[in-house]
Amino acid sequence: MSDIVLVPGMCHGGWCFADLAEELRRRGHRVLTVTPTGVAERAHLLHGTVNLDTHIADVTALMAAEDVRDAVLAGHSYGGMVITGAADRLPERVSALVYLDAVVPGDGDSCWALVSEQERAWYLDVTADGVATRPLPFFDPRATPHPLASLLQPLRLTGGLERVRRRTYVYAAGWDGESPFTATYERLRDDPGWRAVALDGGHNLMRDAPGDLARVLDESAREADRQG
């Protein structure tokens, strides 16, 4: 079975994938969850220079340390920035990318540039020291402030990402209100280079639809394995 690396969105740690990871392991996969530097149980590492590159390095260092190969990288929300950068740095270790209701950046994009004015207003609700965005009130009680620099830093790609051919977008169709990811889903749904899937759940698909999400990730891993 495959190695599956799960990267959370803003303010969350690897613990948000607990149910999903359990189901994927039951299906036979090795699952590694990432908590980005400065967030959740690693909040004590938060400082002003923690940025997107730091979070990409969190993933690539884990992949190297665990000898991860032919991996499926899955990122939720902001995690789409991170898995894109990690795949670009280590394309020889990545077989597929899965974006979980996430941003899909290109070279030079930042998370700030890809989101709506409403989300930018949230980003600017920072902690007293000015280095982190506060979690929203409805987040998991374990959520912590998120490094602001990681949202502002543009992603720089080197061309390695082009070697990763299998890409899936998982769209949460059950938002309470308008989803900021609808345009991304509709664009990729018509792109022959992508598989686009809509699931009946809110933005936190790991909580709302862990079984369906595990099925999509399992299918992505098996397809990547068949194609070598």
Q: What is the dihedral of CA 115, 11, 33, 213, to 10 degrees?
A: -50
Of the candidates 77, 95, 150, 220, the residue annotated as catalytic is 77
Name the β-bridge partners of 133.
Answer: 126, 146
- Residue 77 among the catalytic residues: yes
Name the β-bridge partners of 30.
Answer: 3
How far is 151 from 36, CA to CA, in rounded Å?
13
**Which positions ≥6 away from 142 have C-beta within 8 Å?**
12, 13, 15, 40
**Which positions ≥6 away from 57 have C-beta within 8 Å?**
none
Separation of first and last alpha carbons in the chain? 12
With vertex at residue 91, the alpha carbon angle to CA 86 and CA 96, rounded to the nearest 5 degrees, is 85
Number of Cβ within a 10 Å radius of residue 124: 11
Question: What is the set of active-site residues?
Answer: 77
